[in-house]
C-alpha cells in the first residue's frame, strides 16, 4: 500500500467566499481550512516509497509540490514574495496601501485595545508589519475572511503525521507460546526485523514544503501481568541453538505467580517515535518538534510462566 502525500495550492484571499467561507477549488481538489485561511488539497500517490514494514507501511518522501501563490506590490506591480521567513505573509492593503509582509499577532491583543480600531475581536484579527510591530504601531485590523492565507508549516507537519502509517509492532518473546518459562528467568523480547526504522513524509502547500521525520526511540512492552518494560531498541531475536553466553538488550523476568499451577500472559508491544519536521522553500519557521507519538500495538504473543519444582531428598 502506497503512502499518501498531501499537495495543496495556496488560495488567494480574494478567492474565498464572502464571510470567510470555503473557496472554490480546481476540479479534483478539496478545500480545507487552516489557521489564517484555506488551502485546496489533493492527495496523490508519491511514487516509489522510501521503505516499508511488515504492516504495509510506506515512508515515502515524494510530493508533487504545488503552484506557488503570486503576490504583487500594489504600486509598482512587481512580484514580491507571498511569505517571508522573517516577516510573514504579503498583505497588499497594509501601510496605507503600500503593502507589507505581515504576521497575525499571537496572542491577539485584549478586547478594547486601540489596535482593534474599535472592532470586536469576533469580527476579525489584528496583524502587524515586521517583527517589531507591537512597538512601532504598524498594526492593522483585518475583517474575517479578508486576510492573506498564511500556511503554518506546523499545521502541514501535523497533517503529514496524520497520513503517516506508523509501524504496529508485532511482539515476539522467547520462550514462545509453544513452550513455557519459569519465574525469575530472563525472557527475550524483540520485534521482527525491519519494524525499527525511521519514517519520513513530505507535504507541500504552494512554495512551502515540510518534511516530517518519525524516528523510533523505544518500545513499550505490556507484559500482561500489569507490568510494563521499556527497551530503547528492537531487541535481539532469540534463535534455537544459542548458548548460555548469548545476551540481549531487551528482556523481562516474571517474579511471581497468581496460580500455583502456572500463569499465562498475553504480551504486546508499541513503538514510540520522536517526531520532528523541517521546512524548505518559503518558511515562516524553519523546523519544529511534534514530540513523542506512540503507534498502536500489532500482533500479540503469549507466554506461560511456571514455578520450578523442588525435589526434597532424605
232-267 tens-digit pLDDT: 999 999 998 888 889 999 999 999 999 999 999 999
Rounded CA separation 303/299 (Å): 14
Do 134 and 161 lie in one domain? The reply is no
Same-domain pairing of 39 and 167 = yes
Residues 91 and 212 in one domain: no
Judge whether 3 lies within some domain.
no
Same-domain status, 157 and 202: yes
Q: Are residues 94 and 170 part of one domain?
A: no
pLDDT at position 70, please? Answer: 54
Question: For position 295, what pLDDT does the model report?
Answer: 96
Q: CB of 90 within 8 A of CB of 80?
A: yes
For residues 90 and 300, give the distance between their C-alpha atoms in angstroms, rounded to a whole number: 53
Domain boundary among 143, 173, 189: 143
The per-residue pLDDT for 126 is: 86
Report the number of distinct structural domains present in the chain.
Answer: 2
We report the CATH number of the domain holding residue 241 as 2.60.40.10
Tell me what pLDDT residue 143 has: 87
Q: How high is the pLDDT of residue 60? A: 34
Query: Based on the domain organization, do 204 and 180 belong to the same domain?
Result: yes
Q: Is the domain of 91 the same as that of 230? A: no
- 121 and 203 assigned to the same domain: no
Whether residues 257 and 134 share a domain: the answer is no
120 and 207 co-located in one domain = no
pLDDT score for 204 = 78
Give a yes or no: residue 290 inside a domain.
yes
Side-chain-side CA neighbours of residue 209 (13 Å): 14
Q: Is residue 24 part of a domain?
A: no
Q: How far from 152 is each of 76, 86, 117, 134, 257, CA to CA, in Å? A: 28, 13, 26, 21, 54
**Torsion 26-29-33-37 (CA) sign:** negative
Residue 253 in any domain: the answer is yes
> What DSSP designation does 287 have?
E
Last residue of a domain, one of 143, 173, 190: 143
What pLDDT was estimated at residue 264? 97
Q: Which of 269, 274, 270 is nearest to 199 (CA)?
A: 274
Output the DSSP codes for 92-133. TTTTTTT-EEEEE-SSPPPTT-GGGTT--GGGEEEEEESTTH
Backbone angles phi, psi at 34, to 5 degrees: -130, 165
Is 248 inside any structural domain? yes
Do 36 and 178 fall into the same domain? Answer: yes
Q: In this structure, is residue 285 part of a structural domain? A: yes
Residuewise pLDDT in 10s, the chain (314 residues): 333 233 333 333 333 333 345 656 655 555 555 544 555 554 332 322 223 333 333 333 333 333 344 565 555 666 665 655 555 666 766 666 667 777 777 788 999 999 999 999 999 888 887 645 555 567 888 888 776 555 678 888 998 898 899 999 999 999 999 999 999 999 999 999 899 999 999 887 766 788 999 999 999 999 999 999 999 999 999 998 888 889 999 999 999 999 999 999 999 999 999 999 998 766 767 899 999 999 999 999 999 999 986 555 55
Q: Report pTM.
A: 0.60
In-domain check, residue 51? no
Asked which of 121, 143, 165 is the last residue of a domain, the reply is: 143
Domain span at residue 255? Answer: 29-46+152-306
* Judgement on whether residues 128 and 178 belong to the same structural domain of the protein: no
Amino acid at each position: 500500500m502506497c503512502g499518501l502525500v498531501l499537495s495543496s495550492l495556496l488560495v488567494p484571499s480574494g478567492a474565498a467566499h464572502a464571510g470567510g467561507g470555503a473557496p472554490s477549488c480546481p476540479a479534483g481538489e478539496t478545500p480545507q481550512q487552516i489557521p489564517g485561511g484555506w488551502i485546496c488539497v489533493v492527495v496523490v500517490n508519491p511514487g516509489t516509497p522510501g521503505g516499508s514494514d511488515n504492516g504495509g507501511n510506506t515512508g515515502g518522501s515524494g510530493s508533487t509540490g504545488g503552484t506557488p501563490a503570486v503576490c504583487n506590490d500594489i504600486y509598482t506591480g512587481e512580484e514580491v514574495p507571498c511569505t517571508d521567513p522573517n516577516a510573514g505573509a504579503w498583505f497588499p492593503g497594509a501601510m496605507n496601501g503600500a503593502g507589507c509582509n505581515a504576521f497575525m499577532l499571537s496572542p491577539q491583543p485584549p478586547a478594547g485595545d486601540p489596535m482593534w480600531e474599535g472592532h470586536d475581536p469576533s469580527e476579525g484579527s489584528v496583524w502587524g508589519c515586521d517583527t517589531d510591530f507591537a512597538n512601532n504601531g504598524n498594526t492593522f485590523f483585518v475583517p474575517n475572511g479578508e486576510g492573506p492565507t498564511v500556511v503554518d508549516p506546523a499545521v502541514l507537519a501535523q497533517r503529514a503525521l496524520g497520513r503517516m502509517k506508523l509501524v504496529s509492532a508485532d511482539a515476539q518473546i522467547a520462550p514462545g507460546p509453544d513452550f513455557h518459562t519459569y519465574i525469575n528467568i530472563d525472557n527475550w523480547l524483540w520485534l521482527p526485523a525491519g519494524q525499527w526504522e525511521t519514517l519520513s513524509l513530505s507535504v507541500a502547500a504552494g512554495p512551502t514544503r515540510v518534511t516530517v521525520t518519525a524516528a523510533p526511540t523505544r518500545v513499550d512492552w505490556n507484559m500482561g501481568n500489569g507490568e510494563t518494560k521499556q527497551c530503547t531498541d528492537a531487541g535481539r531475536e532469540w534463535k534455537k541453538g544459542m548458548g548460555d553466553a548469548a545476551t540481549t538488550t531487551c528482556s523481562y523476568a516474571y517474579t511471581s505467580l497468581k496460580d500455583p499451577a502456572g500463569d499465562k500472559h498475553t504480551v504486546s508491544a508499541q513503538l514510540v517515535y520522536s517526531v520532528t519536521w523541517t521546512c524548505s522553500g518559503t518558511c515562516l519557521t524553519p523546523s519544529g518538534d511534534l514530540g513523542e507519538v506512540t503507534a498502536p500495538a500489532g500482533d500479540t504473543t503469549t507466554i506461560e510462566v511456571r514455578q520450578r519444582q523442588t525435589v526434597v531428598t532424605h
